[in-house]
Amino acid sequence: MRPPETLPTYEEGPPAGVELEPGPPPEVPRNPRRIAWTRRGISARRVWKTYRKSLLGMVGLVVLIFFALVAIFAPLLADKQGLDATCPCNGTPFSPPSLEFPLGTDNFGRSVLTLTIWGSRISLMVGLFATAISMLIGSFIGILAGYRGGTSESVLMRLTDWFLVIPFLPLAIVLASVLDRSLGVIVFVIGVTSWPATARIVRAQVLSIKTRPYVERSRALGASGWHLNTRHILPNVGPLIFANTILTVAIAILSESTLAFLGLGDPLSISWGTILDFAFSAGAAYAGQWWWIVPPGLAIVFVVLAFTLCGFALDEILNPKLRKR
Amino acid sequence: MGTRRYILGKVAQAVLTLAFVMVFNFFLFRVVPGDPAGLLLRGTAAFNPENVEQLRSELGLDRPLPQQFLIYLENTVTLNFGESFFLRGQDVKEVIAGRIWPTLLLVGTSTLASAAIGLVIGIYGGWRHGSRFDVGSQGFTLFVYSMPEFWFGILVLMAFAGGIGPFPALFPAGGYSTPGADLTGPAHVADVLNHLALPWFVLTIAYLGQYALIMRNSLIDVMNDDFVMTARAKGLREKEILWRHVAPNALLPTFTVILLSLGFVFGGAITIEYVFSYPGLGLLEVQAIDSKDFPLLQGLFLLFSAAVILANLTADILYSYLDPRVRAA
């Protein structure tokens, strides 16, 4: 390795390795924290520029925005009273799609369209919160194992392997049936059963970052473990965690629909999985009431597909293992 | 020597994992809010403090925790899981044993079939990646991956067992065989296969994607290796390079995945067995959930986990023979 001729100083401009857009160099703030944020802003813009070129990634993003808008503006799109089995606004039970009920009605005469619109709220919310739990556990264990090394690493990784081996669905079923039936329990169950993959990915990345020169320099300057983790390691693992998060949301939404379909969901909050559970239990499949089954299922497919497409596109940009291809 | 140490190490790991699952299983059903006895009787007419106390002592829940654990260990090792609640008085072990065969028949064969088809799709797709076939199969794979398999199952059930419009129902809607029809010999086999067709088709399609995807990526990795260039320089035909050199090498990682998924055969088809009311372990699990049958749930959970651990171990050991490099590592 060639020794650097002059040590880079921050007053001279942004640190080495940062590509700036062509044009006049932006004014560089002197505060180190501001420098870091400016740098992150630049790299976020660079990621977005690459992401925009991925057609499938953009399709996924558009679909996601659509479903997010539906979930946020559900009260404007459909009256919440339509969820009530005794609402006078309900039509004849089991009626096929008509002008008044574009997607037909269920066994209580509720509009399937209303159910599907409001179901998006629960399905997306459970998916996001469960993913948040899974990411917190996974990143924490991954960073701790990768950074500490030694005995704590082998203990933590052994634990991770154990959770990887236990089959997911039976474990989730056992947990959900032991605990009470509520949304919080479903979120918790999916969260605590889906973190091991994240922990492994994060740990591998931490191991590689830990040995980089700037971390060594920082340590030589007397930085504490907390400083190293929050200022150097976490920001560098962050993008990978983010890409992983998006893929995990897809899995969490699928898991929620499966648990709800098996009757383990909260019977009071209607998600897409709950609608399918009600429909199947009421014999919609044998009676050929396709309008009750197709819409919530298609909604799940589209949302999961969209999250997966976004996740793959981001992973291709942010995952150092895939980037070279 | 190295081989023996490697295998012993893997066996020790598997035993440790099994021990973890057993301890986990023990605490899972005891740390629950309002212990099992309370949960069991809740909502029934027999729910009063006296009955709960009696049940607690019957289940051994009033003894100190370490002693309970020893009893649990002895029971688990001797496969004594107690009596099922919803099938009054039947031994959990026997209930489970009676359901293993249908599940093996359904999930085992469909796993093998989807692996075989998936491999071929993955090999062709990876070899000509970017081709129309590859893009098409990738799209199909992603779509299937995003689909809840039970939803696909319901759609298939609706189309082929309920009949669409003027088309009649082609297959029976569920079960293992026609109830009451006391068929024997070839007629019985035909009847069983007729019932098997729909869930088998759904599972094969649902599992196909993952194998195709892994095989494709592994093949793309391998086809850039130097030995492929050598094979080309020797003047081998493309077909020979693909089937004699690239595909066998790319098969290694996929092979592990197939072995691992064989471990999931027991617990893999819970929702599909439920949709087609196919009397296997998956349907049993759903029935156990509905009736809060904890001894049954516990036994099934142990069986499912043990199967996966065993498959893991087998994969590790077989892999070390197929690819001796991992033993050295």
User: What gap in Å lies between CA B99 and CA A228, rounded to an integer?
Assistant: 55
Q: Is B270 on the interface with A (CB under 8 A)?
A: yes
**Mean predicted confidence (pLDDT) in A83-88:** 75
Q: A64, A71, A133, A53: which is closest to A307 by C-alpha? A: A64
**How confident is the prediction for chain A on average, in pLDDT?**
83
CB A205 within 8 A of CB A238: no
In the prediction, which pLDDT does A28 show?
62
The residue ranking higher by pLDDT, A92 or A321, is A92
In the prediction, which pLDDT does A142 show?
92
DSSP A235-261: HHHHHHHHHHHHHHHHHHHHHHHHHHH
Q: Is A166 on the interface with B (CB under 8 A)?
A: yes
CB within 8 Å of chain A, chain B residues 18-47: 20-21, 24, 28-29, 32-33, 39
Residue B220 has pLDDT above 50, yes or no: yes
Confidence of residue B163 (pLDDT cuts 50, 70, 90): low
The domain segmentation of chain B, as residue ranges, is 96-328
In the prediction, which pLDDT does A128 show?
94
For the segment B112-122, what is each residue's pLDDT rounded down to a tens digit?
999 999 999 99
Residue B23 has pLDDT above 80, yes or no: yes
Topology of the domain comprising B96-328: MetI-like fold (1.10.3720)
User: What gap in Å lies between CA B282 and CA B272, rounded to an integer?
Assistant: 8
The shortest CB-CB distance from B289 to any of A158, A179, A262 is to: A262
In the prediction, which pLDDT does A114 show?
87
**How confident is the prediction for chain B on average, in pLDDT?**
82
For the segment B265-322, what is each residue's pLDDT rounded down to a tens digit?
877 688 999 998 888 898 998 888 887 777 888 888 888 888 888 888 888 888 888 8
**Mean predicted confidence (pLDDT) in A164-191:** 84
Distance from CA of B185 to the nearest CA of A (A): 31
Confidence of residue B79 (pLDDT cuts 50, 70, 90): confident
In the prediction, which pLDDT does A19 show?
53
Q: Is A155 on the interface with B (CB under 8 A)?
A: no
The pTM of this model reads 0.84
Which residues are within 8 A (CB) of A136 and not within 5 positions of it... i.e. 6 or more apart?
none
**Whole-number percent of chain A with pLDDT over 90:** 28
Rounded to 5 degrees, what angle do the CA atoms B13, B79, B65 make?
75
**Whole-number percent of chain A with pLDDT over 70:** 89
**Mean predicted confidence (pLDDT) in A94-103:** 78
**Whole-number percent of chain B with pLDDT over 90:** 11
